[in-house]
Structures are given as structure tokens and as C-alpha cells.
Amino acid sequence: MRLFEALVPLKNHLALQKHTTLGLVPTMGALHNGHLALVERAVNQNDLVVVTIFVNPTQFDNANDLNAYPKTLDQDLEKLSLFGEKVVVYAPEVEDLYPETTKSEVYDFGELEKTMEGGSRKGHFQGVATIVEKLLRSFMPTKAYFGEKDYQQLAIIHALVKQKELPIQIVNCPIIREADGLAMSSRNTRLTPKQRAIAPQVYQALLQAKEKKGRFSIEEIIDEARHFFHQSPDFELDYFCIADATSLQPLYGKKIEQEARAFIAVKLGEIRLIDNVKF
């Protein structure tokens, strides 16, 4: 494994390597087993893999959240070293990716970015699309790997690649969970012991909603989930919805004929947790 902090030397290094396929795994660091599952899949499917570690400022709408995001580069590199020479790490400073000004490009993703996370985090997906396009164009990988925990982000990235006609395959990777069901996230490290103990209730709410499919209307399922979290003083529910898996538009009624997913976002103290399950 080799570490590069600047794009130009890294691209020069890649040009000298003998490889037919290149995998890309973009991360913001504080790596956990969910990230490592992405890297493992990329290593198995490509001759060479670039793992990026970069906390992208343009996708944060809250400066405190940006500043508090965990940074564990030394530990991250130790974990990635287990993959050997097939992995190259790119961990730049902000100026390397935003040499002129730290702002997002402007994209039109239509209704796809107006619901759920898009409605709660102003400008978030514009920032995500900006950094992902920068990385994709910088490396032009054969495949790029993203987890389904950030399912709406994944839908935005698919739309980005289609709009920009980039010849890159975006690989959806399943959510990796802790033994108690909590979706793995770098933010989990900021939970207090008490918060960590009750955090799996987020996933349990999704499973309970899924179990009620076909027996209750979508409105009844959502109302019950909302009631549960409104009765729980430790949680602040942002949204709970059941949506079309492709358009991400909310569904209504009792009969679900298309592929759908249930989505949730809550705040547990200062930590925002998101999750989803396939219906």
C-alpha cells in the first residue's frame, strides 16, 4: 500500500502500473468494516484500487458537524495495509481538490434530491456530486464502489454518471451492520455508551415496518413508527418514509406493486443516524 497526498504524483504512479482494471472506493475516512467490505470487493474485482480519504467540506451544511467528523488517518492506513500492494491511498488536503474556491458545482437532479436527505440538508447532494465527479474524472476507474446505507446518495451518483455520460460502472454494495443491527457508520464512534445501547432501535423500527407490509397501509406503518420515536425522548425523528426504490418518491396506500424501501433519519443527541431496508 502506498499513500499519496497530491493528485499529480498519484496519477503519475498509476500511469506506470500494469493494470487493465482500476477500482475506486471514495471514503471520508474513520474506516470501519463497512468501508473495508467495499475495498475487499474492489480488490477482488480489479487489478488496482484507489481508496480516497477526504472529508469533503462542500457536502456539509453544518460547520460544527464538519469540524467534529472523526479523523483517524493513521488507523485507516493500518487497516488498508492489510490489502497489500493492490491498494493505493489518496488522502489530500482541501486545496488539492479545490485549488481555486471551495464551493459546489450546480447540478439538476430534479425530484431525486428534494426528498429525505435533500430536504433536510441544504446543498448536501450538490456537494456530494461535486466531489464524486472530481474523483471519477481524476481517475476514470473501471468501477466505483458505494454502500447502500447512503441509498439516496447512491441514486444521485447513478444519475450523475448518466448525465455526464461517464463510462464508469457504479457498484452498489450492501449495508454492513453490527451484531445488534446498527448500520455501520463513522459517526457511530461519537455516540455515548447510553446512546450506542439504544441506537439499534433505528433498525428495529425499519424491520417492524417491513413486517407490517401488506397488512397495514403505508400511512398506518409510518404513523406507528413516528409515534414510537415521538414517545422516545432520546430520539429526534427527522423523517420516516416508504418510497419507490428508483425515483425515491413517497408511496401511499396499502398495495406496493413496485420495488420499495423504507428510509429513516433520526438525531440521537448530536449524532444523525440514517438507515434503510428493502421492502
Domain boundary (173, 206, 232) is at 173
- pLDDT value at residue 248: 96
Among 13-22, 107-116, 248-257, the minimum mean pLDDT is found in 248-257
Is 279 inside a domain boundary?
no
Domain, as residue range, for 146 = 2-173
pLDDT tens for 123-141 read 999 999 999 999 999 999 9
Report the CATH number that the domain containing residue 98 is assigned in CATH. 3.40.50.620
Q: Which residues carry out catalysis?
A: 35
Report the CATH number that the domain containing residue 233 is assigned in CATH. 3.30.1300.10
- pLDDT value at residue 274: 98
Is 7 inside a domain boundary?
yes
Residues 88 and 19 in one domain: yes
| pLDDT value at 169 more than 90 | yes
Q: Could you please report the per-residue DSSP string of the chain?
A: -EEESSHHHHHHHHHHS--S-EEEEEE-S---HHHHHHHHHHHHH-SEEEEEE---GGG-S-HHHHHHS---HHHHHHHHGGGGGGEEEE---HHHH-SS---------GGGGTSTHHHHSTTHHHHHHHHHHHHHHHH--SEEEEEGGGHHHHHHHHHHHHHTT---EEEEEPPPB-TTSPBP-GGGGGS-HHHHHHTTHHHHHHHHHHHTBTTB-HHHHHHHHHHHHHT-TTEEEEEEEEEETTT--B--SS---S-EEEEEEEEETTEEEEEEEE-
Average pLDDT over residues 37-58: 98
| pLDDT value at 257 more than 80 | no
Residues 79 and 31 in one domain: yes
Domain boundary (148, 173, 198) is at 173
- pLDDT value at residue 2: 96
Residues 146 and 105 in one domain: yes
Residues 91 and 7 in one domain: yes
Residues 154 and 111 in one domain: yes
Is 179 inside a domain boundary?
no
Average pLDDT over residues 90-111: 96
The structural domain count of the chain equals 2
Residues 167 and 82 in one domain: yes
Residues 41 and 75 in one domain: yes
Residues 135 and 221 in one domain: no
Residues 157 and 206 in one domain: no
Residues 205 and 78 in one domain: no
Is 219 inside a domain boundary?
yes
Is 178 inside a domain boundary?
no
Residues 167 and 191 in one domain: no
- pLDDT value at residue 167: 98
Is 134 inside a domain boundary?
yes
- pLDDT value at residue 64: 87
Is 180 inside a domain boundary?
no
Residues 81 and 165 in one domain: yes
Domain boundary (125, 147, 173) is at 173
Is 258 inside a domain boundary?
yes
